[in-house]
Amino acid sequence: MKRRIALPLALAATASLALAACSSDSEPEASDDTMEPTGEVMEGCEDYAAYGTFDGGDVEVYTTISGVELEQLVSTFDDFQSCTGLTVTVVGSDEFETEINIRIEGGNPPDLAIIPQPGLLQTVVGTGSVVPAPASVEANVDEFWSADWKAYGTVGQTFYAAPLMASVKGYIWYSPSDFADNGYEVPTTWDELMTLTETMAANGGSGPDYKPWCIGFESGTATGWPGTDWIEDIVLRQSGADAYDQWVAGDLDFASDEIKSAFEAFGAIALNEDYVNGGLGGSSSIVDTSFQEGGLPILEGSCSLHHQASFYEAQWPEANPDIVVAEDGDVWAFLTPPIAEGDPAAVTGGGEFVAAFNDSDEVAAVQTYMASDTWANNRVSLGGVISANKGLDPANASSDIGRASVEILQGEDTVFRFDGSDLMPSAVGASAFWTEMVEYVNGKNLDTVLADIDAAWP
SS (H, E, C) 90-118: EEECCCHHHHHHHHHHCCCCCCEEEECCH
Residues 256 and 306 in one domain: yes
In the predicted model, residues of the chain with pLDDT beneath 70 are 1-41
In a domain, 40, yes or no: no
Q: Over the stretch 205-246, which tens digit does the pLDDT of each residue have?
A: 887 799 999 999 999 989 999 999 999 999 999 999 999 999
Residues 186 and 74 in one domain: no
In a domain, 139, yes or no: yes
Q: What is the DSSP string of 48-93?
A: GGGG---SS-EEEEEES--HHHHHHHHHTTHHHHHHH--EEEEEE-
> Which among 219, 355, 227, 375 is positioned nearest to 290, based on CA atoms?
219
Task: Provide the whole-model pTM.
Answer: 0.83
pLDDT for the residue 28? 45
Beta strands in 258-390 (DSSP E): 306-308, 332-335, 346-356
Q: What is the DSSP string of 312-350?
A: GGGHHHHH-TT--BSTTSSBEEEEPPPSSTTPPPEEEEE
CA 263 – CA 261 distance, rounded (Å): 5
Q: Over the stretch 173-198, which tens digit does the pLDDT of each residue have?
A: 999 999 999 999 999 999 999 999 99
CA distances (Å), 274 to each of 204, 374, 391, in order?
Answer: 10, 50, 46
Helix axes 257-270, 225-248, angle to 10 degrees: 160
We report the CATH number of the domain holding residue 149 as 3.40.190.10
- Residue 336 sits at φ, ψ, to 5 deg, of -50, 125
In a domain, 5, yes or no: no
pLDDT for the residue 3? 32
pLDDT for the residue 27? 45
Residues 229 and 273 in one domain: yes
In a domain, 9, yes or no: no
Give the chain's end-to-end CA distance (angstroms, integer): 23
Residues 432 and 287 in one domain: yes
Number of residues written out for the chain: 458
Range of the domain at 89: 46-167+349-412
Residues 181 and 312 in one domain: yes
Q: Which helix (H) or strand (E) holds 259?
A: helix 257-270
- Residue 139 sits at φ, ψ, to 5 deg, of -65, -40
Residues 206 and 135 in one domain: no
pLDDT for the residue 271? 97
Number of neighbours of residue 428 by Cβ within 10 angstroms:
23
Residues 203 and 315 in one domain: yes
CA 457 – CA 110 distance, rounded (Å): 32
- Residue 162 sits at φ, ψ, to 5 deg, of -80, 145
In a domain, 374, yes or no: yes
pLDDT for the residue 346? 92
pLDDT for the residue 39? 54
In a domain, 336, yes or no: yes
Residues 243 and 98 in one domain: no
Residues 114 and 211 in one domain: no
In a domain, 32, yes or no: no
Q: How many domains does the chain have?
A: 2
Residues 203 and 305 in one domain: yes
pLDDT for the residue 208? 78
CA 426 – CA 385 distance, rounded (Å): 26
In a domain, 15, yes or no: no
Strand partners, 308: 171
Residues 187 and 82 in one domain: no
For the stretch 253-276, what's the b/e string if a residue is b when 16 or more beta carbons lie within 10 angstroms of its beta carbon?
bbebebbbebbebbeebbbbeebb
Query: Cβ(373)–Cβ(381) under 8 Å?
Result: no
pLDDT for the residue 164? 97
Residues 362 and 434 in one domain: no
